[in-house]
A and B are shown apart, each in its own frame.
Chain A
């Protein structure tokens, strides 16, 4: 991969939620970079901190109960963590845009989609009503909504789920973002509609050249869309690798087990699927040792005592594990 400019550099991000029942350690010191024009996927199971980490970057979590700490969150040379709320508002929806999982609840049902589309353009780009409306129609056409000029005055309920997600994408693209964060944008959709949206996003990215962070739990969708994949578990990044490397040669026992637990076209249906026994850990306690150790078949004493750092095993391929899973010995 050629060297590309780093546009988002997250260093040691920690997010906690202080609740009545105690402190939930949702994100526990993660660091990664997003390069210009790249598609990065963050995968993991529910509760692993993949959404919370991006919401922390965007500062879209209610504080309190959330508490966001980081050494630095650098976005194109500016440290977002030091920004006051008003400065964040300048970035959000403008240079960094976000698409959410549920297109039913993230659009306002009592406003036409026109109002919702032109809002951010008027705010960030300083366009007047006429200019913003023209651009909105252009955007709707770009996301393949037929008869955009007429449909722009419709309300969200007049669109199907897939169409609503297209409207969400149009809103996200309205200010030409440098970075688009897509939080499980196809999870609520049917597979045939999911295929349409994945195709559309791929095309738009080729055309507009923005960087994208695609958050998902679906290793199948990620395989088709990402250049690089980050795997999260219990608030930690456990593996970070180019997509082909990750699927062909996973280095972390969790990633390897997750891939094996999926039925594939060649797997024998008469055999049992491989399972990861047990459950992800509770996040109430300050984590000690490797979070995956209790479910890991390679676990040694050291794994329970010390959390392995995320280190390069081969160039570009980072894993957080003491053990080399090919030999079963310490690295």
Chain B
């Protein structure tokens, strides 16, 4: 892999949501440790896949990078700009470069606005163009994402799930961003429509030189779209590597379990397969296990894992892992 320039740098990112007690005199009694110390880079024009089970903090990571949630501590750099040090007003100027695509195409579009208003809204907020120019830009964006430009005056309910997701993508592209966080953009879609949206995202990346952080829980689709894949468990990264490296040379036991749990459409292979079936569910992020967060479910855990937190380190070239036993 050629080393591209780093576009987004995340340093020791932490996001804790406070749990409070009391109505008048609120005091903090604990915290949901959604994101608990992440460090990684996203390079220009690449797709970094971020996978993990529900509640592991992957969506919070995406939102915290874009400063939709302000982090508890840690830094996020976009090129040389430290996003975490900017005021909300200064951030607004940068919103033209960094954008977000939401998971639920039903909840993320205002049902009372026409497609035209939805897609033109970011242009209006940033005072770009005259109304006529904006109108043209909306039509251009619609054809870019494969929708008929004649649909500009329709409302979201007139579209199917896949088409709505295309509207969400068009809105994210309106300001010509460089970096887009895609938060499970295909999870709510049917199988035959997922492929359409994935192909569209890849086409746009080729044509517009976009960089994606692609959040998902479906490993096969993530492998298809990503250049590198990061695996998250209970607020921490456990492994990060190139997509083929991660599949062919899996190091962390959690990644192994996740890969072996993902079903494949091949009956003969499914019958033969020896699964690493993990016991139990994901522990609560309010009170995560000591040491390595994964030790309660880990098939190879040893005593040290209960005490010491493993260090996030580059064990081979471009292959990062946090495990005592590797």
Binding site for B on A (CB under 8 A): 45-46, 160-163, 190-196, 198-199, 217-224, 226, 243-244, 247, 257-259, 261-265, 267, 269, 272-277, 279-280
> Within 8 Å CB of A257, what residues of B?
192
Contact B191 A223 (CB under 8 A): no
Q: Give the chain B neighbours of A190 by CB distance below 8 A.
A: 53-54, 217, 281-282
B278 within 8 A of A: yes
A192, B278: Cβ atoms under 8 Å?
yes
Q: Which residues of B contact A196 (CB under 8 A)?
A: 277-279
Majority DSSP secondary structure for residues of B touching A: helix
Whether A273 and B199, one on each chain, are in contact in the complex, defined by CB atoms closer than 8 angstroms, is: yes
Q: Per a CB cutoff under 8 Å, which of B194, B247, B263, B275 touches A223?
A: B263
Q: Knowing that A192-B258, A264-B266 are A-B contacts, what are 20 other residue pairs whose CB atoms are under 8 Å apart, sorted by A's residue number?
A: A162-B281, A163-B281, A190-B53, A191-B53, A194-B261, A195-B277, A195-B278, A217-B190, A223-B264, A224-B267, A224-B270, A247-B266, A258-B191, A259-B265, A261-B195, A263-B220, A263-B221, A264-B264, A273-B198, A273-B199
The one of B247, B263, B269 that contacts A218, using a Cβ cutoff of 8 Å: B263
CB of A205, distance to nearest CB on chain B (Å): 14
Q: What is the size category of the interface that chain B forms with chain A?
A: 35 or more
| Residue ID in chain B nearest A273 by CB atoms | B195
B239-281 vs A, Cβ < 8 Å mask (1 yes, 0 no): 0000100010000000001101111111111110101011111
Chain B nearest CB from A215 CB (Å) reads 15
Asked whether A45 lies within 8 Å of B281 as measured between CB atoms, the reply is: no
A199 contact set on B, CB distance < 8 A: 275, 277
Residues of A within 8 A of B195 (CB): 261-262, 273-276
Find B191's partner among A45, A221, A279 (CB 8 Å cutoff). A45
Is the Cβ of B281 less than 8 Å from the Cβ of A220?
no
Residues in A with CB closer than 8 Å to B54 are 190
What are 12 of the A-B contact pairs (CB < 8 Å)?
A: A45-B192, A191-B261, A195-B260, A219-B191, A224-B273, A258-B191, A261-B191, A262-B191, A265-B220, A273-B224, A276-B196, A280-B190
CB-CB under 8 A for A219 and B265, given A160-B281, A192-B257: yes
Name the distance in Å between A231's Cβ and chain B's nearest Cβ: 12
Nearest A-chain residue to B284, judged by Cβ: A160
Q: Which has the most chain B C-beta neighbours within 10 Å: A226, A274, A275, A277? A: A275
**Complex: how many Å from CA A5 to CA B185?**
45
> In this complex, what residue of B is CB-closest to A144?
B279
Q: How far is the CA of A274 from the CA of B203 in the complex (A)?
A: 14
Q: Which residues of B come within 8 Å of A, CB atoms? A: 53-54, 160, 162, 190-196, 198-199, 202-203, 217, 219-221, 223-225, 243, 247, 257-258, 260-271, 273, 275, 277-282
B193/A223 in contact, CB under 8 A: no
Q: Which residue of A lies closest to B265 (CB)?
A: A219
A191 is contacted by which of B202, B258, B279 (Cβ under 8 Å)? B258
Complex Cα distance, B219 from A220, in Å, reads 12
B275–A195 contact, CB under 8 A?
yes
Question: Complex: how many Å from CA A243 to CA B199?
Answer: 29
Is the CB–CB distance between B258 and A275 below 8 Å? no
| Of B162, B192, B257, B265, the contact of A220 (CB 8 Å cutoff) | B265
CB distance from B55 to the nearest CB of A (A): 9
Bound complex: CA A63 to CA B271 (Å): 42
Once the chains are docked, how many angstroms separate the CA of A46 from the CA of B187? 13
Distance A45 CA – B53 CA, assembled complex (angstroms): 23
| A220 / chain B contacts, CB cutoff of 8 Å | 220, 262-265, 270
For A160, the chain B residues whose CB sits under 8 A away are: 280-281
Min C-beta distance of A31 to chain B, whole Å: 24
Q: How far is the CA of A288 from the CA of B98 in the complex (A)?
A: 48
Give Cα A263 to B206, complex, Å: 19
Pairwise interchain contact A244-B261, C-beta atoms closer than 8 A? no
Complex: A257 Cα to B263 Cα, angstroms: 19
